[in-house]
Structure 1
Amino acid sequence: MTMENTTAPRHSITGASDSRTPPEINVEPRNLSFDVDAELSTLWHGGDAFKTAFFNALSLQFPEGEHLFIKAVRDYRKQVKDPQLQQHIRGFIGQEGMHSREHARYNDALAQRGYNLDKMNARFHKHMEFVGGFKRSRRLAGTCAAEHYTAVLAHGVLKNPDWMAGASPTMQALWRWHAVEEIEHKSVAFDVYQSQVGLYRMRFVAFWIVTFQFFRFTFLNTCSMLKTEGKFWDLKTWLHGFNFLWGKPGVLRQSLPQFLRYLRRDFHPWQVDDREEVTRWLNNNQRPTEAA
């Protein structure tokens, strides 16, 4: 059972490290490769157009988004003196690099189904170029907010099997691998921000900007793919989608309280302790063979 702690993990209480990642968590990249071409030529999430489009819409944002996250953390790397946080920064960069690579392959496969990725990618690229021009402190604040969203969704993917029920085994493996690593490094950018910037107001404002843009692009990309599938005007598709997000299992309904925890002044990502979910995944060996 997932525990919610209002105190920091044990070793952070001593002040010995700027990193508050629990000592049991290893922030290390896994060089995994997923052959998803066959699945992505279908409605891989149980034949459901909305569920498939929703997860595909998330994937479209990852390659370029994660490159920006890496840059935002790397911009402060030389200023971080704590060796443990330095080690976690290296792991964060490695994990995000692997995620970017696998989701770039994922998105290439989506193009083969006939989706207009050029249009979808162009509007996201324009936004990312704009964000890339921000001061480094603001980019890091935005990265912290985006990492919070991915960590909360990752928690849900691992804790709630019904989120992925009906999905093909390969796609389940990919999303759960990504979820585990998002949890493992979920506090790295935040710990860098707290140690190097630490402004609550900037973090607060960045959260609302990221919230708007995250849901905007997810919604637009979902709509674009539903149009390609001929399901955009299908009422049944949208009713199923509303139920998936807000009814049962209620992906957004379940996630909303955790999303909003970020607004607390004393917030830290590891106040929600996901170690049990990570350990369960590791023990179940839900991992394909590492890439050569």
Structure 2
Amino acid sequence: MNAFTYHPMDRIAVRPLQFKLETIESDDIVWSRTCPEFSVFINALGLHVPHFERYLIRALSKAKAQVKDEKLLRDMSAIIGQEAHHAKNFLQFNQRMAARYPKVAQLDTAARDYFAEHAKADSFKRQVGYTAGYETFTFLAGMIILENYHRWFADSHPVMKAIWVWHQVEEIEHGAVAFDVYRHLFGRDEFYRKWMVLLALVHIARETLIAYAHMARMEGWLRNPLRAVSKMGFCVTMLLRLLKNALPVFRKDYDPRRHPMVTSTQNAIQIAWRRYESRGGDVLEIDREKMATILGVDLP
């Protein structure tokens, strides 16, 4: 494992990357040949995420007026910048998915309306709390996905591999910011923080299952009962994995920087990608050779 001299949630950088999603054809939507179920799962989970990211931007932009800590303000500006670029890229990918899956446009519009309405109707505390709760799972998903890179990404479309590695690296990188904002503003109310984590999990699971079931049906995976159980089981297992890794979040002394997935080992891909990109490396497409270059290893 590579040595790293600072915590993976420090030194948050805004990287204005624009991926060549116009090159993604319909057949590329199921972009992982290593594990097609994973690519459909992460596509389904990611469908509504750009709209949450816009919700986050509004919530944290509003919160900045009440935060006095200079470091936290810098981190808030960084996460807002990162999430703006995430939303821009993934909204474009949603358009590509809509060409393959008839209901994606409808699901995308419903997610947009849901978060736009809640951004207006939710109390300030709920906006900050829900953002912190939701970011729990984007951070955990980042760790889980990068830890399983070779199982799920090894043989996959280079643009889609690149965009998801970038997204997961940055979700880990800013994984503590929304939590810090909540603690800074509402630190004594631990029950509410945990309640927001549960609400976020329910929303993520519901939206993902609805989208995944539609995509799996369109891929023809549900025609055979045994195959349907296997394919849907992958989605359920992934969501349960998120829940299992979220259990430390409910401890009274929880801090994302001390989550076991961060402190036991630091992910080699996250470390190497951040270093490679900061030195000017091209991360807009990643094939096997590029990942070997990023990691500084020889191909077998």
Q: Sort the TM-score into its range (normalised by shorter chain).
A: 0.7 to 0.9
Summarize the Cα distance change of 1:22–1:163 in structure 2 as closer, same or farther, 3 Å threshold: same
The 8 Å contact of residues 37 and 231 in structure 2, kept in 1 or not, is answered as: yes
Identity score, percent: 26
Partner in structure 1 of residue 95 of structure 2: 108
**Aligned equivalents of 1:26, 1:88: Cα separation in 2:** 9
Partner in structure 2 of residue 242 of structure 1: 233
Summarize the Cα distance change of 1:88–1:40 in structure 2 as closer, same or farther, 3 Å threshold: farther
**Aligned equivalents of 1:47, 1:41: Cα separation in 2:** 18
Structure 1 runs (4+) deviating above 6 angstroms are none
The 8 Å contact of residues 216 and 231 in structure 2, kept in 1 or not, is answered as: no
For the pair 1:120 / 2:143, whether they are aligned, the reply is: no
User: Residue type of the partner of 1:108?
Assistant: Q
Greater shift in the superposed pair: 228-237 or 203-212: 228-237
Summarize the Cα distance change of 1:40–1:253 in structure 2 as closer, same or farther, 3 Å threshold: farther
Cα distance, 1:34 vs structure 2? 1.3
The 8 Å contact of residues 40 and 113 in structure 1, kept in 2 or not, is answered as: no
Summarize the Cα distance change of 1:151–1:228 in structure 2 as closer, same or farther, 3 Å threshold: same
The 8 Å contact of residues 31 and 156 in structure 2, kept in 1 or not, is answered as: yes
1:145-164 equivalence runs, <5 A: 145-161=133-149, 162-164=151-153
The 8 Å contact of residues 209 and 235 in structure 2, kept in 1 or not, is answered as: no
Cα distance, 1:260 vs structure 2? 1.6
Summarize the Cα distance change of 1:172–1:232 in structure 2 as closer, same or farther, 3 Å threshold: same
Equivalent residue for 1:77, pick from 64, 84, 93: 64
From the two aligned structures, give the one with the greater helix fraction. 2
For the pair 1:26 / 2:11, whether they are aligned, the reply is: yes
Greater shift in the superposed pair: 23-32 or 83-92: 23-32
The 8 Å contact of residues 54 and 222 in structure 1, kept in 2 or not, is answered as: yes
Normalising by structure 1, report the TM-score: 0.82
User: Residue type of the partner of 2:167?
Assistant: H
The 8 Å contact of residues 45 and 166 in structure 1, kept in 2 or not, is answered as: yes
Equivalent residue for 2:26, pick from 41, 48, 52: 41
Cα distance, 1:232 vs structure 2? 3.2
User: Residue type of the partner of 2:227?
Assistant: K
User: Residue type of the partner of 1:135?
Assistant: S
Summarize the Cα distance change of 1:240–1:113 in structure 2 as closer, same or farther, 3 Å threshold: closer
User: Residue type of the partner of 1:217?
Assistant: E
Per-residue deviation, residues 20-74 of structure 1 (Å, max 9, x unmatched)? x949822121111212344451221218653332111122112211000111111
**Aligned equivalents of 1:264, 1:233: Cα separation in 2:** 43
Cα distance, 1:114 vs structure 2? 4.1
Greater shift in the superposed pair: 182-191 or 25-34: 25-34
Cα distance, 1:135 vs structure 2? 0.4
**Aligned equivalents of 1:238, 1:228: Cα separation in 2:** 15
Summarize the Cα distance change of 1:49–1:136 in structure 2 as closer, same or farther, 3 Å threshold: same
Summarize the Cα distance change of 1:180–1:23 in structure 2 as closer, same or farther, 3 Å threshold: closer
Summarize the Cα distance change of 1:283–1:179 in structure 2 as closer, same or farther, 3 Å threshold: same
User: Residue type of the partner of 2:81?
Assistant: G
The 8 Å contact of residues 95 and 105 in structure 2, kept in 1 or not, is answered as: no
User: Residue type of the partner of 1:282?
Assistant: R
Partner in structure 2 of residue 12 of structure 1: none
For the pair 1:207 / 2:197, whether they are aligned, the reply is: yes
**Aligned equivalents of 1:289, 1:54: Cα separation in 2:** 22
**Quick one: higher RCO (CA 8 Å, sep 6+), 1 or 2?**
1
The 8 Å contact of residues 115 and 225 in structure 1, kept in 2 or not, is answered as: no
Name stretches of at least 5 consecutive residues in structure 1 with no aligned partner.
Answer: 3-20
Equivalent residue for 2:178, pick from 170, 185, 189: 189
Summarize the Cα distance change of 1:203–1:154 in structure 2 as closer, same or farther, 3 Å threshold: same
User: Residue type of the partner of 1:230?
Assistant: G
Greater shift in the superposed pair: 215-224 or 103-112: 103-112
Name stretches of at least 5 consecutive residues in structure 2 with no aligned partner.
Answer: 286-300
The size of the alignment, in residue pairs, is 269
User: Residue type of the partner of 2:169?
Assistant: V
Equivalent residue for 1:216, pick from 206, 211, 214: 206
